Structures are given as structure tokens and as C-alpha cells.
Amino acid sequence: MTHPHLFHLGAIPPQHVYPKGSRTDATKSLFPALTEMSISLLTISPKGFREPHWHPNAHELSYCLQGKALMTIFSPGAGHDSFIIEPGCLAFVPMGYLHHIQNLGTEDAKFLVCFSDAQSEDINLSSAVGVMPSHVLGSTFKLSPSFFEGLHASVKPSFFAEGVAENHFPNSWDVNRFKKDMEKMQPQIQSGGGTVRLNNQSLMPSLEGLTLYSLRLEPKGIREPHWHPNAHELNYVIQGKVRILLLSPDGKVDDFEMTEGDISFMPRGYFHYIENLDPGVTRMVVFFNHVFPSDIGLSGCLGAYPNELLAQLFKVPVDYFNRLPKYQEDLFVVAGGG
């Protein structure tokens, strides 16, 4: 059985493979359910780096899964930001900003990279320099055009390349406007069912068009049935196993399981829930294409209507709903098992 909202990102071969790294992409051409979002799994070998590049059509929000890396962003007005990212850290790159990622550790560095377009575009610095005429480069840098003839002969788009030592970057910082350590935050939501760390533009003002939640579900924990009126949702399972049921406006139900490395896409306003099927804790990251994703949960919305109306709707006696708790706000994450 096919599930239109599920994609096994971790199970497909990388589309970009180089000696020092690889990138596996889930774009609309491969995962047709995607709208206004896409995601990549980026792996960089020790001493390797993803060459400086930019995305003409998309903002980028990365979540570090493994390793230690340096990110440098060059922005309009000659802004220059360098910072260290480690597991649990977010890094945001606005559309069109030049940036690179370099592995500083002794193990592979791995990142989830979410884009605000279903078919994100790349332009690499080596390609950009390589197509420019020598006389144009000479005029730009006040040098003889012949200076750049050797550069043209040697430049080949690298995508991933061999890096340089960490001590060449003495001005990198742990704190930066484009970085946030999500997993060191105190969870805003805690219950017997799990915890949620919520990020938005108030907490990370540099964000545009994207944000992320970190979700941990205890055994049998449930992210209650809900929908997001203003945002699409893109899920990734870091650890564990979950079940998702999604209801589409045409009445179709997509009911599937996700394991480590899988992604799923919940279109804006579609009704769904997430249930932990693993005997241990399940860890997920949840991307949204809005800096303030809104949420409506079933626990709160049933409490907003009179029992007489609900009884008529579901064709049961009024006393049935008199026994239903009336929550004034969504519970968000609940413990399973009844």
C-alpha cells in the first residue's frame, strides 16, 4: 500500500556523492505531496566542507543530528557570521545569503536541511567564479586578467571539498543571531506523554518563513489530534517509531508508520495525530513553513461547544458529553493507555 504523505528519506541513495560528503534530497519531484517545503539529509566527512553557496529561491533551516561543524554566512552589507553547530543546534540562512558548512570533528557531521521551497535551487561559489570572464574578474579585483586564467583552468564545481584546520577560524562564536541550541532549551510543554521545545521568531528573530519544534514522545505518548491553520508540517524521525493518521479534505485517510530516517508531510489545515509505537522514547523534529505556526487541538476545540450541539452532531444522548472534560486550552501532548 502506498502512502502519499510518507517518504523514506533515509532509505534512498544520495543524489550528490563526493569523496568528502553526500546529500540526499526530498523534493517535490520525488515526493509529490510536498508544497512550499523540501528537505535534505547532508553528510560531511571529517575535514570536509560543503562549499560556499546560496539558494536563490529558498530560506534554509538546518538541524544538526551528529558531529561538530563550523558555519559561515556572508550577508548583504558585508555581514560576516561564523559559529559552531553541534547536535541539537539550529542554523538559519536567509534566502540568497552565501554560506558554507565545515566538519571540525573526527566523525561524519550530519544535518537535516529544510528549505522554504519544494524545489530549492543552489548556486555554488566555484561555479559562479568559473563562468566570469577573466577581464571582468581583473577589473573587479584591480588585477591583470591573466591572473585569473589559472583559476579558470583549475576551478571545477566541487559541492563538497577538503577542508582546513579549525584554528584557521579564530573568530567563530557559540552564540550567534543565526543559531539556536534547541535541545538546551527548557521544554515549553511537558506532560506524561512527552515534551515539546517550541521555536518561533520571538525566540529567534532572524527566522523568515521557517521554524522547527523538537518533539519527544514517551512510550504510548500521543501528540493529540490537531491541525495547523497557517502552516505546512514536515516531520522527521530521529529515533523510534510512530504512527500517523491524516485526514484530507476529500475524506481520504492516510494511516502509516514512520521509523528512523522517514519523513512525512502534513499539508496546511489537514487533521492528524502522532502516536509513539516504540517501547522507548521517540525523538522527532517538526519543521513548519511559518515563523509562528498556529495550532488547534481536539482537546480544546471540543470544549468550545455546548454538549447539546455535540450530542446532536454525533447522535448520542447529551449525558454522554456531560462526562467529557471541558478543557479551556489544548493539551498538545498526552499520555497513552487510557
Q: Residue 319 belongs to what H/E stretch? A: helix 318-322
Integer Cα distance of 242 and 229 in angstroms:
23
Integer Cα distance of 163 and 87 in angstroms:
20
What CATH number is given for 185-334 in this structure?
A: 2.60.120.10
- pLDDT tens column, 259-303: 999 999 999 999 999 999 999 999 999 999 999 999 999 999 999
Q: Is 328 left (phi over 0), alpha (psi -120 to 50) or beta?
A: alpha
**Three-class SS of residue 11?**
helix
Q: Domain spans of the chain?
A: 6-180, 185-334
Q: Residue 177 pLDDT > 60, yes or no?
A: yes
Integer Cα distance of 245 and 240 in angstroms:
17
Q: Residue 138 pLDDT > 80, yes or no?
A: yes
Q: Would you place residue 161 in the very low, low, confident or very high pLDDT band (cuts 50, 70, 90)? A: confident
- Three-state secondary structure readout of 105-171: CCCCEEEEEEECCCCCCCEEHHHHHHCCCHHHHHHHHCCCHHHHHHHHHHCCCCCEEECCCHHHCCC
In this structure, which topology does domain 6-180 adopt according to CATH? Jelly Rolls (2.60.120)
Cell 550567534 -> residue? 176
In whole angstroms, what separates CA 260 from the centre of its chain?
Answer: 15
What's the pTM value of the predicted model, to 2 decimals?
Answer: 0.95
